[in-house]
Amino acid sequence: MNVDGAAKGAVGDEAIATDETAQRRAQDALVAIARGTSGATGVALFRAIATLLAESTGAEHAFVGELLPGGQRVRTLAFCAEGVLAPDLEYDLADTPCAHVVGRSVCVHPAGVQSLFPQDHLLAEMGIESYVGIPVRASSGEPLGILVAMSKRPLPSGGPLGRLAEVGAEVMAARAGAELESLRAGRELARINHSLERAVVERTRELEAFASSISHDLRAPLRHISGFVELLQARTAAKLDEKEQHYLSVIAGAAARMDRMIDALLELSRTGRASLRRTEVPLEELVRRTREELEQANPGRAIEWVIGPLPTLSVDRPLFGQVVANLLDNAVKYRRGRAPARIEVRAEEDAAEQRLIVRDNGAGFDPRFAAKLFGVFERLHREDEFEGTGVGLANVRRIVERHGGTVRGEGEVDRGATFVVALPRVPADRR
């Protein structure tokens, strides 16, 4: 019997068994990581990766780190130390093994990592002997961060830490990279939103200053014009001929109209600044109250109202009440001189949105100019035909858009008009 041969065979069998065990442990580790991170996102995912990385490799320390702007520092997003999650930290990459990993390739130091990086005091403080670093990249290849497992013991050749680095690096780094990309996209979106909010606040301040200027600076000369016209009319009534009196009446009327336009602008400004407080509002109630007010303001006018079933909307009651009032008031106003008047109010709904539809058989408008309907001071009819400031529909659009909806108008000359307000359904948790 060849004793030396038998001994060598036994050693070979043991090495094979050890290697197979290491492979099996590595595969088990990957399965555990896949299961432990499958439903996690954000910070929860990073913590799951760090914890499972430590558990599956037997390393005392493991973390997921993000490369900070400038590429010289790393901040941990999840740090597992001695089996528990530890506070996150930031550190410089210079003179650390991580500097050889970020944006490069997997780096394994089975032993003696402190002697290789003597200026990395953190390794000495933690008593680290072996190190594995795995780079994390974006889908574009841009360096995003790093996965690290560190142990106080040397890393056996073919051991679970090294095997995991070889077998699992791509899987874990891709998962962490995708989540880091999503995290950064979320941060950028939040930054843009914050910038937009600041711009809105600044614009609101400008509008408030403008409204204040209109209210005070422009009203003073208007009061002077109106006042002196009244004085002239009172003192010269017997001296002026009919044409001269007409001139004064035109001046007084223009000043009064300007005053009404200022009021309308101020109302439009207030609408844009008012806070939005959504409640469940029965649309039928808003329509009924507006109809009653219009009938009281227009006694003797024959109007046929056709009102269909109307839903409950998640809207700001006072603001959306202005929408209903403007649309119905226009329907009544543009029916003047035409009989019989017919105003139809109905609703449509689907899974995505709720629509309010107001149709009349009045004066209508030229569809070529439909785009001007919702502009400030835009009028499609002469003032001597139908009174108004040209701000009502602009106010409607502003209120509807603040609710996340849209409004459109359709019509033909002398064949009536139809207005459609579409509001998206609001989830219960956002009402």
pLDDT of residue 7: 42
pLDDT tens per residue across span 354-381: 999 999 887 777 677 667 777 665 555 4
Backbone angles phi, psi at 234, to 5 degrees: -70, -40
* Residues with Cβ within 8 Å of residue 140, at least 6 apart in sequence: none
How far is 398 from 413, CA to CA, in rounded Å?
A: 26
pLDDT of residue 245: 84
Q: Indicate the average pLDDT of the chain.
A: 79
pLDDT tens per residue across span 61-103: 999 999 999 889 999 999 999 889 999 999 999 999 999 888 7
pLDDT > 90: what percent of the chain? Answer: 23
Which is more confident, 260 or 357? 357
Torsion region of 323: left, alpha or beta (phi above 0 gives left; psi -120 to 50 gives alpha): alpha
Split at pLDDT 50, 70, 90, the class of 25 is low
3-class DSSP assignment, residue 308: coil
85: β partners? 80
pLDDT for residue 149 is more than 70: yes
pLDDT of residue 329: 86
Q: How confident is the model over 271-286, as a mean pLDDT?
A: 83
Q: How confident is the model over 19-33, as a mean pLDDT?
A: 58
Q: Which two tokens stand for residue 123?
A: 């390794």
Q: How confident is the model over 264-274, as a mean pLDDT?
A: 66
Top mean pLDDT of 90-94, 153-157, 272-276, 382-386 is at 90-94
How far is 49 from 78, CA to CA, in rounded Å?
A: 8
0.75 exceeded by pTM:
no
Helix/strand/coil (H, E, C) string of 92-152? ECCCCHHHHCCCCCCEEECCCHHHHCCCCHHHHHHCCCEEEEEEEECCCCCEEEEEEEEEC
Q: How confident is the model over 277-300, as a mean pLDDT?
A: 87
Which is more confident, 261 or 345? 345
pLDDT of residue 398: 85
pLDDT for residue 426 is more than 80: no
Q: Which domains does the chain have, with CATH numbers?
A: 21-183 (3.30.450.40), 275-431 (3.30.565.10)
Q: Which residue has the tokens 């003047």?
A: 336
pLDDT of residue 414: 74
pLDDT of residue 206: 74
Split at pLDDT 50, 70, 90, the class of 8 is very low
Top mean pLDDT of 98-107, 203-212, 303-312, 422-431 is at 303-312
Which is more confident, 39 or 189? 189
pLDDT of residue 79: 94
Which is more confident, 386 or 334? 334
3-class DSSP assignment, residue 199: helix
How far is 13 from 20, CA to CA, in rounded Å?
A: 10
Of 18-22, 247-251, 297-301, minimum mean pLDDT range: 18-22
Q: How confident is the model over 350-357, as a mean pLDDT?
A: 92
Q: Which two tokens stand for residue 66?
A: 């993000």
Of 79-93, 114-128, 290-304, minimum mean pLDDT range: 290-304
Single-letter residue type at 213: S
pLDDT of residue 376: 60
pLDDT for residue 5 is more than 80: no
Of 293-297, 348-352, 425-429, minimum mean pLDDT range: 425-429
pLDDT tens per residue across span 309-322: 999 999 988 889 88
How far is 327 from 333, CA to CA, in rounded Å?
A: 10
pLDDT for residue 233 is more than 50: yes
